Amino acid sequence: MIFTIPDLLTASELEEIRSILEGAEFADGKLTAGWHAQLVKDNQQLKSGQIQTQLTQKVKEALNRNALFQTAVRPRMIHSLLFSRYDVGMSYGTHTDNALMGSGFWRSDVSFTIFFNPPSDYEGGELVIESADDEKAYKLQSGAALIYPSSTLHRVDPVTKGTRLVGVGWVQSLIRSESEREILFDLETARRSMFSQQGKTVEFDLVSKTIANLLRKWAE
């Protein structure tokens, strides 16, 4: 399931993050890429340290308070987060994200990209997600996030003008299967709609029971 969160970050959070990134030190993005991804990765990434830790905490707080993210992704662990900069000529060719990441060997079930500057700041730099017979390009407003399966092939097209600033992260979900996460999301959406229209009914209780039992069956 691919979806967007239009205003993940507040205006003040966004301003603070951009201000910090503009004065921060970046390194070659190839340093955090696998041996094959290094062949197609051409960007810069925020160096590890106190600034990265500070920004990571801010992004995690935003994701943890967002109801849509929590309901659709059901995160067990937001385990990895990189802050990337693309200047003119930089891109990231077609790749798929590593299945296991970090010292804890966390699974990458769900990926997310948070856009820190508006589309008017740069040309090119679209995030393109490929499918079997099509592909779709994304270039969201600042403060917005795109959520997508880590299993997809995707790329970042070359930046031809300006600078692209993004945060990219990965999540191990409580629900391993993408299709099962979507079933739970649809049921939860229906349950909330039922409650808002009719309150706590017999039907609401049955859907609640089903969601709880599916979580018992599928969660890990």
Neighbours of 20 (CB within 10 A): 16
Alpha-carbon distance 39 to 83, whole Å?
20
Which of 149, 220, 215, 211 is CA-nearest to residue 186?
211
List CB contacts of 22: < 8 A, sequence separation 6 or more.
none
Which residue is it, tokens 């951009």? Answer: 18
Q: Tokens standing for 62?
A: 């935003």
Which of 101, 103, 78 is CA-nearest to residue 173?
78
Asked whether residue 205 is marked as a ligand-binding residue, the answer is no
Element (H, E) at 60: helix 50-65
* Torsion sign over Cα 58, 124, 129, 152: negative
Strand partners, 45: 27, 84
**8 A C-beta contact, residue 26 and residue 85:** yes
Asked whether residue 154 is marked as a ligand-binding residue, the answer is yes
Q: Read off the amino acid at residue 153.
A: L
Asked whether residue 79 is marked as a ligand-binding residue, the answer is no
Alpha-carbon distance 12 to 14, whole Å?
5
**Residues marked as binding for 2-oxoglutarate?**
164
Residues placed in the known binding site: 95, 97, 154, 164
Binding residues for Fe cation: 95, 97, 154
